[in-house]
Every structure is written in C-alpha cells, then in structure tokens.
Amino acid sequence: MTLRNFIAAAAVALGVFAAGAAVNVVPRPVSVEEHDGQFTLTSKTSIGYAEGLEEYAMYLDSILLQSTGYELPVVAGTSKAAIALSIDSAAVGASEGYRLEVGRKRITVVGADRGGLFYGLQTLLQLFPEQIHSDRPARNVEWNAPCVSIFDAPERPWRGMMLDVARYFHDVDYVKHYIDMMAMYKLNKLQFHMIDDSGWRMESKKYPRLTEVGAYAGTGPSRLGGYYTQDQIRDIIEYGRLRNVEIIPEIEFPAHILSAVVAYPWLSCTGLQHELPRQHFISRDLLCVGKESSMKFLFDILDETVELFPSKYINIGGDEAVYDRWKECPDCQALLKREGLSKASELQGWLTDTVARMMADRGRTVIGWEEIITRGDVSTPVVALIWHNVADSVFASSKGHQAILTPATHMYLDFPESSTPGEIKAAGWMPPISLEKAYSMPVNDYSDSSSVIGVQGCLWSDQFIHGTVLQELPQLDENRSEAYVDYLTFPRLLAVAEVAWDKESRRSWPDFRRRVMTHFGRLDAMGAAYRVPEPSITSMKELPSGEWEFVLEPSIEGSEIRYTTDGTYPTVHSALYKGGKVVAPSRSDFHAVTVHGRRVSLPTYFAPDYSRYERYGAIAGQWQPLQVQTVATPWNIDVIGKISGNGSYEITFIPEKGGDIHFGRLKLMKRDEQLADVDGDYTVKPGQTATYRFDVDAFEAGTPFTVVVERNGVGSNETSGLVFIRKL
C-alpha cells in the first residue's frame, strides 16, 4: 500500500475526506502524474478555445454555470485563457486520447481529436469536487482541482451500451440522461434498440402504421408505449455527437419484429393479424424473406434508417430466430431452392449477406448479434456482438468478421446485482451480476488472431415491457421506470466503462472499488438513481467458539454502516459500526447495511449453509408454519434461473421441523403455459423426502418458470422445510 492509498484508506475508516484532493478518475487514465498545489476555479476563470472548438467551450461553460453559478468568460483563442481547449493529434498520438495539464494558474486540455478533447473535459470535471456535476448552484464549495499531468487514451475503439427502448419506451429526456452518463464515463456507442416484438419506436415516413399501430399496446387513452419522431431522433443524434456518443440504430429482423407485423401483417409468412405483447415474449413470426413485398419493405426501412442516422454502423439485430415459419412458407422455400441452400436457417446468412452488401454500397457496416455470423455463410465483413461466449470472437475473426464482447454473464445489466432477499425483480435466467463480477469480465481470454473492437453493456427491458407497471423500489422510494433502469445501470456502468477503456492487465478490483466509492456523490449530482452498495467485508473468520468475527469497510465515501448480530435486518437505528471487529453467534446471524443520506442498502447477507443437501441441487424455496393450510392449496414456487435449459429435472421437498406435510399434484408453468403435469401423493415428515421428476422441452431464456404444487399440513401446522431443484 502506498502512503497515498494508506491515507485514503485511513480516511475511509474514519469517514472523513479532504475535498478534491485525490485523483479518482473512472475509467482509470493511462498515466497520472500528481504535482504539488491546486487550481482554484473562480468567477474570473476564462475558457479559451482553438478554432472550430467553440461548442466544447460552451459545453464546459454551461456545466460550470449550473454548478458554480459563475458566468465564466468564453474567449476565442487559447493563449490568454485560464482553461485552454485545443486539438493536436500529433502531440497526443492516440485516437480519442488527450493530454490534460492542471497547473496552479492554468489548465490545458489537448485532444487528439474532438472525442479526445471531450474526454479531457470529463477527466477535468472528475478532478473537481463532486458538486461540479450538479444542475443547481452548490454553496460553500471551494472549486479546487489538484495539479496533475494526465495522458490518456482508450484501449478499444468500441465502448458501448445498449438501451432497450422497444420493450420499455423512454422519453427523449431520459435517453439524453443516459447519453450524459455514458459520456461522463467515456462510453462512445449507444446501441439504440428501437425495434422489438413489443414495440416499433422509430417514425417512418414511408410506413406510418409502424408507429401509429406498432408503437402502442392496447388502444384508447390507456394505451401504452410511444415512439420517437424523426426530429426527436435527429435531436438525440446531435446530443450524442457533441458528447462523442455515436447513436447506432438497431433495426431487428428477421425475428423480434412482431410490432411491424402487427402494423403490416403481409410482412410475415402467414399474413395473420397479431397483437403487441405486454409481457416477455419472443414471437415465432419472422419477416418473410421469400416475398418481394417484405424484402422491399426491409430495404425501404433500412434506407430511411441510413438517411436518418449518420453512424458508420447499422445494427440489424438478428438474434433468436426460430425458423418454423420459413420452413412452412412456400415463398421462403422457393427462395431457399433458388439460392441452393439446404436449411431454413441458412436463409438468415443469405439475408445478412444481402443486407451487408446493400449497406456496404451506402458506406455503412452491418453489425448484429452473433447469430448473424453463425446461421449460414456471410462473405461480406460484418461485426458480431458476442453475447454467449467471448471465445466465439475467434470464430468471427476466422470468417473475416469483427467482434464486440457483450457476454450475458457479465455485461447484461438487466440481471440484478445480487440474490439477497429484497433485491429488485429483474432478469433471472442466469445468476446475478455483481459490480465485481462485471469488472472481472475477461477480454483477453481468446486467441491473438481475433479481431475484437470492443466491449458493450446491455440493458434489456424484456422483464418490464411497456405493458407492465414497474415494481416499486423500496430502496429508492420510487416506482418510476427511469429510477428502475438507473438502479440496474449504476454503478455497474462504471465497470463496463473501465473494462472497455483500460488494458485487462492493468485491472485491479481493490483500486477500482476504492475509486468507485468516491463516485456516488457524482452520480447523485448527475441525478442517477444508483443501487446503494452493501458494506464490504474486509475480513471474516470463524472463532474457536464457533462464533464469527467480521471487519467492515464502507462502500460509499462518507456513508455509515449499521449492523445487527441477531439474524434480523438492520435499520438506520441499528448499531453504528465504528471500526474494529464485530462478533456474531453465526455467520448467517450477521447483517450490515450502508446508510447513505436517506438511502439504505440491502444487507450484507450470508445465505444459510445447505451443503448437507447438495445432492438435491440448488435451493428453490422454503415453507414456514403459517403458510401451510390444512386443506390442499396450490403453492407457487418461483424457479426462474433454476430451469436453465431443456432437459430432465428433479424437485425435492424436505421437511425440517414439525409433523406430516402432504404434497399432491405438481405442475411446471412457463408463465401461463403448462409444460409438465406430474401426479403425486406424498405424506412426509422430517427425515423423509418427496421427489418429483419432469421434463422441459420448450425452454426460453427470459421467461419466468413456476412450479405449482398442491400442499397441505396434516395433523400439525408446525411444519417448515426446504425445496431443492436439480437438472439431471
């Protein structure tokens, strides 16, 4: 530990901080040299800009006006200004890079290009006290930044986030907030997921029903959804341009396009009329590739997209198609024969190649989910978003394509951060993704020959599509959708940003964690409704007495830790942690929460030890005396994430206490669809088990699965027990 880190750690332990003293930039710059002294911003500080860069000076000026209240002079030219903005690609040397010099009297920000200059400004803002990001003047703040020399440049050109506005429509203001947050952390590509089964969000002049009909679920004043006009889209693109965030439109096909089929039923193979779904649903209806009319529609829409979006890349989606409709469609089958293909799935490769060539003619490159390169041959170079396995980027490069890593295991921020009871409901088809896990995402874990251009986080909305009222967030005292999306996005967006920006060999979780601790105040000032992290445990051990000993550390600079040792959840009135060791009778009796202003985190939590039941699989539920009635009643057990694919499963009920309990018929439901129905008639008591077996053959990621079992207590309602599930 360096002296500086030691002082920082000691300050954390004492809960005191010297404002603006430390350099805690996220993502971590390539090199930071700290010097003595500081720069003090006053109402006289001038901002000067080299030719053509006035908009960056005005951007900085407007941010500083909001937070400091100072109307700083903005001047053309850099020689006389206190803060001087310029571009010199030779002096910086790396695309999107910058050099930032903060002296006692003068600050120079030199970008390699416009993006680099913008990033120099972001780093500069992160050197000032956190209130610098506030949208209203902060009082009693000394606007000091430490003197430093920073050189910085990204390791990867693609640093993205995907926002799913198709399943949940966000208004323009929220999209701009998302862009601001991405820009603050130097993310430069927003994949704008505007099209999906449950909504079409891009105005089309040629096909107006796409938004008149396809943008709304239901009819009348209570209909849900919305869309962006072309003017609004141009506004979003311009907002992103200044902030070095390129807006990449995603036009999904051949699947995930039911919203267009609802508007124009002739686009599909069957021509049947459908409705927009209100819950997670992947339609089997594909765009019919065998009909001239639907291909003309596709080309028209892509042309309109190219006209509207200046981005180098056009995303064509391409994920999760099942080909039943193409197999049954005479037009699609005729096309398959004409093209000499053998399987319906190869039509997707043909479609991707056709569109990729069309886009190449217009100077654009096609990008899409990994399926665009794995379903039939594609000879035109494209970019694949690898969402299953990062090693598949090697396959992409072996076929002459490029890849972006967005593995669901680490980069899907629609999964919650934890499985602690009380965590918000979010995607459950895979384990939670903690901040640390997101930060641990492997990037170099593939062959040297792969051509990975970057990393991307994804925020899907299929678990809270626009027909569904979002759940309340007790932690935030909010039930608004934007707070929910912010909760899932922050602080993990910071991990996405650093994984994308920095070399993997330089990554250090303790260092990242320490810097992130200081960013929550910045997120507050930016109006980002983040998830409050639980306190960290720096050490814990079992004592000879069988008790457990814990040492803790706050996870937010300046926050309090409150804790309990009796198995209850702490409140703001529980014991205040003042450093040192805390002893609890058992590990699972210990709980601690972060108290940050008026917000309280979920508790640091240790699940009870079920290792003695390991052979029965993973814990899926438990019952308590008061939940069991003497008449047989259906009991719903949420098995999202436990049903992880097609195959055979075993579910076992294990009474732990009390008298007999009876289990009868058992069903497995995929949302409302019954997948299995198993007869049963078990009366069991502690020491006995009841096991059912069933098969799953229609697994779908993202869909909730529930086991429903008839249950009643026989002779005693003092029963309690556990449920385990296992894939065979």
Give the nearer residue to ligand ACM in terms of CB position, either 369 or 705. 369
Residues in region 270-329 near ligand ACM by CB under 6 A: 319-320
Give the nearer residue to ligand ACM in terms of CB position, either 429 or 653. 429
Give the nearer residue to ligand ACM in terms of CB position, either 110 or 459. 459
Under the binding rule (CB under 6 A), the answer on residue 387 touching ligand ACM is yes
| Cα angle: 538, vertex 539, 545; to 5 degrees | 155
Give the nearer residue to ligand ACM in terms of CB position, either 369 or 635. 369
Which amino acid is residue 523, in one-letter code?
A: L
Among Zn ion, ligand ACM, none, the one that 387 touches (CB under a kind-dependent 5 to 8 A) is ligand ACM
Q: How far apart are the C-alpha atoms of 82 and 103, rounded to whole Å?
A: 10
Name the one range near Zn ion by CB under 5 A: 50-58, 323-331, 423-431, 602-610. Answer: 323-331
On the 0-12 / 13-18 / 19+ scale of CB atoms within 10 A, 486 is buried
Q: How far apart are the C-alpha atoms of 491 and 601, rounded to whole Å?
A: 13
* Closest separation in Å from C-beta 302 to ligand ACM: 20
On the 0-12 / 13-18 / 19+ scale of CB atoms within 10 A, 488 is buried
**545 contacts: CB under 8 Å, gap ≥ 6:** none
- Using only C-alpha atoms, the chain has a radius of gyration, in whole angstroms, of 28
Among Zn ion, ligand ACM, none, the one that 369 touches (CB under a kind-dependent 5 to 8 A) is ligand ACM
| Residue 542 designated active-site | no
Member of 332, 411, 459, 707 binding Zn ion (CB under 5 A): 332
Give the nearer residue to Zn ion in terms of CB position, either 161 or 269. 269
Give the nearer residue to ligand ACM in terms of CB position, either 402 or 475. 402
Residues in region 396-425 near ligand ACM by CB under 6 A: none
**208 contacts: CB under 8 Å, gap ≥ 6:** none
| Closest among 254, 207, 204, 202 to 233, alpha carbons compared | 202
* Closest separation in Å from C-beta 258 to ligand ACM: 15
Strand-pair partners of 562: 576, 593
Task: Exactly one of 320, 472, 549, 650 is catalytic; name it.
Answer: 320
SS (H, E, C) 393-437: HHHHHHCCCEEEECCHHHHECCCCCCCCCCCCCCCCCCCCCCHHH
Name the one range near Zn ion by CB under 5 A: 113-121, 269-277, 513-521, 534-542. Answer: 269-277
Under the binding rule (CB under 5 A), the answer on residue 331 touching Zn ion is yes
Under the binding rule (CB under 5 A), the answer on residue 329 touching Zn ion is yes
Beta strand 47-49 pairing with 83-87: parallel
Member of 288, 314, 347, 367 binding Zn ion (CB under 5 A): 288
The SS3 call for residue 362 is coil
Q: Are 174 and 482 in contact (CB under 8 A)?
A: yes
Question: How many C-beta atoms lie closer than 10 Å to residue 665's C-beta?
Answer: 15
Among Zn ion, ligand ACM, none, the one that 528 touches (CB under a kind-dependent 5 to 8 A) is none
* Closest separation in Å from C-beta 289 to Zn ion: 6
Among Zn ion, ligand ACM, none, the one that 320 touches (CB under a kind-dependent 5 to 8 A) is ligand ACM
Q: How far apart are the C-alpha atoms of 183 and 243, rounded to whole Å?
A: 6
Name the one range near Zn ion by CB under 5 A: 263-271, 391-399, 562-570, 669-677. Answer: 263-271
Under the binding rule (CB under 6 A), the answer on residue 369 touching ligand ACM is yes
Contacts with ligand ACM by CB under 6 A lie at: 319-320, 369, 387
Contacts with Zn ion by CB under 5 A lie at: 269, 288, 290, 329, 331-332
Active site (catalytic) residues: 320
